[in-house]
Amino acid sequence: MKKTPLYDRHVALGAKIIDFGGWDMPVQYSNVIEEHHATRTKAGLFDICHMGEIEVKGPQAFELLQWVLSRNIEGQAIGQIKLSVMTNEKGGIIDDVTVYRLGEERYLIVTNAGTKDKDLSWIETQRKARGLARVEVLDNSDRTGKIDLQGPLSEEILQKLASDDLSSLHFYHAEDTRVMKIPALVSRSGYTGENGFEIYTENRRIGEIWDKLLAIGTGLGLKPVGLGARDTLRLEAGMMLYGNDMDETITPLEVVYGWVTNLEKDFVGSTALRKLKEMGLARKLVGFEMEDRGIARHGYKVFKDATEVGVVTSGTYTPTLQKAVGMAFVPVAASRPGTDIFIQIRDHQARARIVELPFYRRQK
């Protein structure tokens, strides 16, 4: 099992540790609901060192990425971030990633933890197949440490340690700065639906920043947050989780990633996706709220008119909304908000209603 450089700190904080994609990760420190509320109302600190960082650089970096990413990255400014997926020839999702343009010919692809190796070899395979010799694909994951600081007080807390004025850093933008005088890449982005930051630095220095943020933030209500609350936060915000809500058998058009898929350009999978769009989709990922008592969970079956029609991909009790919600695949014909579906929970079927995503939107 792999451990992040912060592992010993999690154990010292009394965290419960679970296996997540081959990594020993904290699922909760105190309890999921408290950590969730801390992030929504004050601030939460997350160990994200397990995620992958792939650097793509050289004169043909743009050309390679334009081919492997579904998103059109033409016009992406230096410092700007774009969310995208990578698809295989059939249009199935290999991973969902954030793409940072760091320089004229330099990009950083941030991948999910369990998919990094496969992403890396996929990009390398495509590089060779396209005969692109003037671009390098580098795995920076092992030497990169990453923590997320999320929540309404995150800016106030991070500003105490950052060299540059964070108020001028826009949403989905990144800048090279210093945190406690340590060179770091900081972006205004995250996976919680709150204002917040993702902080990247050298693996061996990340612990110093983690410790200092906790030291200065705890009095303001900052808490370390485990994967349990990370999951409830992202689900409330209508964000999907790779491996849970999507995988290689699912296309971006069927989930909430149509908007990051540009079928005007050519990329791996674009031909298949155009065809699929033309033929019409069979299923769609939707959000739902439970109307009857019960909590839908990943893998539970979805029924409509006594026929099995789909499956729940994510489901939980959400601490902010204090109700049970989830995401499920349903036939397109039954995907309209307001439609009732039934979810098999153990020996009974419970009524749920399809609703618009996200479930939660922060007040600005």
Partner 1 sequence: MSKPNPADRKYSKEHEWAMDEGAGTIRMGITDHAQELLTDIVFVELPAIGKKVKQMEPMAVVESVKSVSDVFSPVSGEVIEVNKELEEHPEVVNEDAFGKGWIAKLKMDDPAELNNLMDAARYTEMIKEEKH
- Contact residues for partner 1 (CB under 8 A)? 27-28, 31-34, 228, 231-232, 293-295, 297, 316-317, 319, 324, 346
Give the closest residue to 151 by CA, choosing from 217, 196, 214, 209: 196
Q: How far is the CB of 322 from partner 1 (least distance, A)?
A: 9
Smallest distance, partner 1 to C-beta of residue 295, A: 5
CB-nearer residue toward partner 1: 78 or 311: 311
Q: How far is the CB of 84 from partner 1 (least distance, A)?
A: 29
Least distance between partner 1 and beta carbon 259 (Å): 29
The rounded distance, in Å, linking the Cα atoms of 248 and 300 is 20
Q: Which is nearer to partner 1, 178 or 351 (CB)?
A: 351
Question: Both ends of the chain: CA-CA distance in Å?
Answer: 41
Q: How far apart are CA 157 and CA 314, in angstroms?
A: 32
Q: Which residue number, 305 or 347, has a Cβ lying nearer to partner 1?
A: 347
Please say whether the beta carbons of 107 and 101 come within 8 A.
Answer: yes
Nearer to partner 1 (CB atom), residue 128 or residue 346:
346
- At 253, list the tokens: 């058009």
CA 7 and chain centroid, separation = 21
Q: Which is nearer to partner 1, 14 or 183 (CB)?
A: 14
The kind and range of the H/E element at 30 are none
Q: Which is nearer to partner 1, 67 or 288 (CB)?
A: 288
Q: Is 325 exposed, middle or buried (0-12, 13-18, 19+ CB in 10 A)?
A: buried
DSSP label of 208: H
- Adjacent-strand bridge partners of 285: 329
**Nearer to partner 1 among residue 330 and residue 345 (C-beta):** 345
What is the rounded CA–CA span in Å between residue 341 and residue 289?
10
Q: Find the shortest distance in angstroms from Cβ 346 to partner 1.
A: 7
Closest CB 143 distance from partner 1, rounded Å: 32
Name the token pair of 317.
């009790």
Query: C-beta of 234: minimal distance to partner 1 in Å?
Result: 13
3-state helix vs strand vs coil in the chain, percent to 5: 25, 35, 35
Integer Cα distance of 288 and 34 in angstroms? 24
**C-beta separation of 341 from 287 below 8 A:** no
Nearer to partner 1, 187 or 192 (CB): 192
Shortest reach from residue 347's CB to partner 1, in Å: 10
